[in-house]
Amino acid sequence: MGWSTHWRTAARAGRWTGVAAAATLALSAAASAQQWPARPITLIVPFPPGGTTDLFARTIAQHMRPALGESIVVENKPGAAGNLGVAAAARAQPDGYTIVLGSVGTQTVNQFLYGNIGFDPATDLVPLGMIASTPNVMAVAAGSPWRNLDDVMKAVKKDPGKYSYASPGIGSSVHLTGAYFESLAGLQMLHVPFKGSSAAIPAVIGGQVDILMDNLPSSMAALKPGGRLRGIAVTSAERSPAAPDLPTMAEAGLPGFEVTAWSGLYAPRGTPAPVVDKLIAAMKQALQSPELQQSLAQGGATPGNVFGADLAAFEVKERGKWGALIKSRGIKAD
């Protein structure tokens, strides 16, 4: 056998060895995905314990367990408006044993407010599905002369810059709801940010600030009959079952107004497709649970019904909406 013949034979053998090795790895990965999960799954929540998103995470984790056959352990990793925890999940091993809760902030807003959030929400994470969405609400003190959205808009239009609205913080979905209201209605108000709803609500009740923009669940107690807040409208496309007497912003006089605070589950990029499919199937099964639906409803939330590629497409629209608003109004994070 000549040298050239020997070389070609060796090269072919090398190629076949490489193909065989690749095939073995693929079969091994497929077998691993079929056996998944073989141990508990970690769900990173990039916010402190006790909040609405933390509650949603723990509720969905509990109800996904029967479909998966393994528990989901919640790990709170707060910091940097949620960016810290999501960035950690994006860097995690993509084996299905780490997933993360993402929110309207981490997935569609923060990238326009901060110079470097540590991950690309469009490419570094695989959307699994939306857990729930909650409307925001516009409210005033119970003793305010304003009884509906028309009253608010007439007063604010008459005296641009005179009236103020409170929110739980700069860059929150609630702050952006107020900015969106100003933009869509052609009004000018003063934004007064607070460190959370627990500080914003008393300021409006006490008359230090004229209008409250808040997540509905945070304000529900004060909005009940006889409460110290009067609801003006909710920001979702449809009325909230938690506050059925409150009109939507669209019904009240601003057609096309729709804002919700939402959260979903995500896996690191590169997570095997069979594992992603199992996670999505487990989410869908969990969200059909009457117990879970009741738990979300008590918190003023609607169960999610957007999964996988549909959630990715929804995010694209959200980024276009919030990115344009933040740029046009020059909104910056602290």
Q: How far is CA 237 from CA 182, 223, 255, 257, in A?
A: 18, 20, 10, 7
The pLDDT of 199-210, averaged and rounded, is: 95
Whole-number pLDDT of residue 333? 79
Whole-number pLDDT of residue 295? 86
Instruction: Give the end of a domain, one of 230, 252, 274.
Output: 252
The pLDDT of 268-274, averaged and rounded, is: 97
Whole-number pLDDT of residue 27? 46
Determine contact, residues 303/264, Cβ cutoff 8 Å. no
Separation of alpha carbons 313 and 318, rounded Å: 9
pLDDT at 20 over 60: no
Same domain for 236 and 141: yes
Higher pLDDT, 194 or 275: 275
Higher pLDDT, 296 or 84: 84
Q: Which secondary structure element, helix H or strand E, spans residue 55, and what is its range?
A: helix 52-68
- Residue 102, in any domain of the structure: yes
Domain that holds residue 66: 39-134+260-329
pLDDT at 203 over 90: yes
Same domain for 161 and 182: yes
Same domain for 142 and 184: yes
Rg (CA), the chain: 24
Closest of 114, 85, 121 to residue 312, by C-alpha:
121
pLDDT for 121-143, tens place per residue? 999 999 999 999 999 999 999 99
Separation of alpha carbons 101 and 89, rounded Å: 9
- Residue 117, in any domain of the structure: yes
Whole-number pLDDT of residue 22? 47
- Which residues are within 8 A (CB) of 91 and not within 5 positions of it... i.e. 6 or more apart? 119, 268
Separation of alpha carbons 138 and 260, rounded Å: 13
Confidence of residue 180 (pLDDT cuts 50, 70, 90): very high
- Which residues are within 8 A (CB) of 219 and not within 5 positions of it... i.e. 6 or more apart? 137, 139, 197, 201, 212, 229, 231
pLDDT at 2 over 60: no
Determine contact, residues 275/96, Cβ cutoff 8 Å. yes
Beta-bridged to residue 133, according to DSSP, are: 262, 302
The pLDDT of 232-251, averaged and rounded, is: 93
- Residue 53, in any domain of the structure: yes
The pLDDT of 260-275, averaged and rounded, is: 96
Residue 179's SS3 state is helix
Number of Cβ atoms within 10 Å of the Cβ of 262: 27
Same domain for 180 and 239: yes
Single-letter code of the amino acid located at 90: A
Q: How far is CA 280 from CA 60, 267, 292, in A?
A: 12, 11, 16
- Residue 2, in any domain of the structure: no
- Residue 29, in any domain of the structure: no
- Which of the listed ranges 6-15, 18-27, 173-182 does the model predict with the highest average pLDDT? 173-182
Same domain for 242 and 275: no
Higher pLDDT, 34 or 118: 118
pLDDT at 173 over 50: yes
Whole-number pLDDT of residue 10? 52
The pLDDT of 99-107, averaged and rounded, is: 96
Same domain for 278 and 206: no
Instruction: Give the end of a domain, one of 207, 235, 252.
Output: 252
Confidence of residue 34 (pLDDT cuts 50, 70, 90): confident
Whole-number pLDDT of residue 226? 86
- Residue 81, in any domain of the structure: yes
pLDDT at 14 over 70: no
Separation of alpha carbons 257 and 237, rounded Å: 7
- Lowest pLDDT segment from 7-11, 189-193, 307-311: 7-11
Task: Indicate left, alpha or beta for 282 from its phi (over 0: left) and psi (-120 to 50: alpha).
Answer: alpha
Place of tokens 């996988």: 308
What is the model's pTM? 0.85
Q: Provide, rounded to the nearest whole percent, the portion of the chain with pLDDT above 90.
A: 72
Q: Which secondary structure element, helix H or strand E, spans residue 193, and what is its range?
A: strand 190-193
pLDDT at 231 over 90: yes
Same domain for 216 and 276: no
Confidence of residue 271 (pLDDT cuts 50, 70, 90): very high
Closest of 298, 286, 290 to residue 241, by C-alpha:
298
Q: Is the dihedral of CA 21, 25, 26, 28 positive or negative?
A: positive
**Residue 118 is encoded by which pair of tokens?**
């540590």
pLDDT at 270 over 90: yes
Whole-number pLDDT of residue 224? 87
Whole-number pLDDT of residue 168? 86
Same domain for 179 and 248: yes
- Residue 303, in any domain of the structure: yes
Whole-number pLDDT of residue 334? 60
Separation of alpha carbons 205 and 144, rounded Å: 9
Number of domains in the chain: 2
Q: What's the mean pLDDT when you consider all of the chain?
A: 89
The pLDDT of 301-327, averaged and rounded, is: 95
- Residue 80, in any domain of the structure: yes
Whole-number pLDDT of residue 242? 87
pLDDT at 236 over 70: yes
Looking at residue 297, which CATH number applies to its domain? 3.40.190.150
